[in-house]
């Protein structure tokens, strides 16, 4: 059962961020900005939103190859279901639902959920590194005036990028060590039998070993390099969507400037509200101010950008989930079970 205190906390955070986002804004003018948005650019943004899902699914299919490469459509369906779940459930629940849905729909059920979940963690580390590289490219190659016009922000970006890069690299090193000896990891965890019931320790050890097997792609540096290379088309497509939204609302955003907003959005959606509500909007609004966007245009662009980021996967994901007999309640049940330490189809 989900804690009511956690729900209250999430709702409070989302409401607070939305209050900051909408502070001193004329909503009637925001509505007018949205109705004036250029439809040809919105069509372009919709195309990027769909291409993001395709590229994500293809990269995930590659990461899953050591476990038994699923066909592309299964990876695509699981990806959309995961993102749909994250859009309507808190705490990025889709991250655990996505591997569960994939293994549930595998014909032979040969792939373990814990192994597939390991690839999700690897995905996030690759995403962090890619976003940091693009942010560094913007700060140091495309926009040298940021340090003079916003010195505090410039220093904050450098500190955040350095910290995130260090954490991501440390995480990759730790995963590399785990992936190198999955059986040794299982044996180490098996020693938990001294403090846990032997049966429970055996289950945990098996899950840990299958988790390490899911990191097979990083046992070969060449495969890891390819996985990282596949991350750049994904994030350049996301950047193109941000750039397209700016053009739809007549915001003077150079393409490289979308790397800055994209980095801020990555921080904004780290707040565990459903669909990143509040955090996404506040981060976009803040980023748009660096490009002299009017408040009403920035707010309107943030609202539309958020809708384009969640509606396509939400519609597709709920449809695919329904075809497998999973309703929204069912998705919530899966997230709750895993969050409470359940072992659904591990």
Q: What string of DSSP letters covers 169-225?
A: HHHHHHHHHHHH-HHHHHHHHHGGGGTS-HHHHHHHHHHHHHHHHTTGGGGSHHHHH
145 pLDDT more than 90: no
Q: pLDDT over 90 for what percent of the chain?
A: 40
281 pLDDT more than 80: yes
Binned at pLDDT 50, 70 and 90, residue 188 comes out as: low
Q: What is the pLDDT of residues 122-142, one digit of tens each?
A: 898 889 889 988 988 887 777
Q: Which residue has the higher pLDDT, 50 or 119?
A: 50
218 pLDDT more than 70: no
Binned at pLDDT 50, 70 and 90, residue 345 comes out as: very low
Q: Which of 7, 17, 171 is nearest to 91 (CA)?
A: 7
Round to whole Å and give the CA distance between 92 and 10: 12
Residue 281 CA, distance from chain mean position: 16
At 164, list the tokens.
């995130």
Residue 38 lies in a domain: yes
In contact, 36 and 297? CB cutoff 8 Å: no
Highest mean pLDDT among 5-19, 71-85, 261-275: 71-85
Residue 191 lies in a domain: yes
Residue 6 lies in a domain: no
Residue 82 lies in a domain: yes
At 32, list the tokens.
């007018």
Residue 20 lies in a domain: no
Give me the mean pLDDT over the 65-75 stretch: 86
- DSSP category for residue 250: T
At 303, list the tokens.
């609202």
Q: How far is CA 69 from CA 34, 57, 304, 336, in A?
A: 43, 12, 36, 28
Give me the mean pLDDT over the 94-111 stretch: 82
7 pLDDT more than 80: no
Residue 231 confidence (pLDDT): 96
Residue 254 confidence (pLDDT): 92
- Convert 70-102 into a string of H (helix), E (strand) and C (coil): CCHHHHHHHHHHHHHHHHHCCCCCHHHHHHHHH
Burial call 196-225: b when 16+ CB within 10 Å, e when fewer: eeeeebbebbbbbbbbbbbbbbbbeeebbe
Give me the mean pLDDT over the 259-275 stretch: 90
Task: Please state the domain count of the chain.
Answer: 1
Q: Which of 75, 117, 306, 299 is nearest to 210 (CA)?
A: 117
Give me the mean pLDDT over the 284-313 stretch: 94
Q: Which domain holds residue 119?
A: 29-339
Binned at pLDDT 50, 70 and 90, residue 209 comes out as: low
Round to whole Å and give the CA distance between 298 and 265: 14
Please give the model's pTM, rounded to 2 decimal places.
0.84
Residue 17 lies in a domain: no
- Please state which of the ranges 33-47, 98-112, 139-153 shows the lowest mean pLDDT: 139-153
Residue 23 lies in a domain: no
Residue 170 lies in a domain: yes
Q: Which of 238, 39, 206, 28 is nearest to 131 (CA)?
A: 238
Residue owning tokens 């039998």: 193
Residue 200 confidence (pLDDT): 44
Give me the mean pLDDT over the 79-94 stretch: 90
């Amino acid at each position: 059962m989900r804690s009511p205190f956690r729900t209250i906390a999430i709702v409070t955070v989302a409401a607070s961020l939305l209050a900051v986002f909408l502070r001193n804004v004329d909503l009637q003018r925001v509505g007018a900005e949205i109705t004036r948005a250029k439809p040809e650019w919105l069509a372009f943004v919709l195309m990027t939103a769909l291409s993001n899902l395709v590229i994500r699914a293809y990269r995930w299919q590659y990461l899953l190859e050591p476990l038994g490469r699923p066909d592309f459509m299964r990876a695509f369906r699981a990806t959309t279901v995961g993102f749909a779940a994250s859009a309507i459930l808190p705490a990025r629940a889709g991250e655990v639902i996505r591997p569960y849905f994939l293994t549930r729909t595998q014909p032979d059920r040969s792939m373990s959920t814990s192994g597939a979940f390991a690839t999700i963690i690897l995905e996030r580390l690759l995403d962090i590194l890619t976003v940091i590289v693009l942010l560094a490219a913007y700060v140091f190659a495309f926009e040298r005036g940021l340090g003079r016009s916003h010195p505090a922000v410039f220093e904050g970006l450098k500190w955040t990028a350095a910290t995130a890069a260090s954490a991501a690299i440390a995480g990759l090193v730790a995963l590399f060590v785990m992936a190198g000896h999955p059986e040794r990891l299982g044996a180490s965890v098996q020693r938990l039998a001294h403090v846990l019931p032997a049966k429970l320790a055996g289950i945990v050890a098996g899950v840990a070993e299958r988790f390490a097997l899911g990191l097979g792609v990083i046992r070969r540096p060449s495969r890891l390099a390819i996985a990282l290379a596949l991350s750049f088309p994904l994030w350049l497509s996301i950047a193109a969507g941000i750039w397209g939204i700016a053009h739809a609302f007549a915001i003077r955003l150079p393409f490289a400037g979308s790397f800055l907003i994209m980095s801020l959005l990555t921080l904004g959606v780290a707040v565990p509200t459903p669909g990143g509500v509040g955090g996404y909007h506040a981060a976009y609004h803040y980023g748009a101010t660096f490009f002299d966007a009017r408040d009403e245009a920035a707010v309107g662009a943030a609202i539309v950008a958020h809708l384009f980021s969640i509606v396509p996967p939400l519609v597709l994901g709920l449809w695919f989930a329904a075809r497998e007999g999973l309703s929204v309640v069912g998705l919530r049940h899966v997230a709750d079970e895993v969050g409470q330490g359940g072992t659904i189809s591990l």
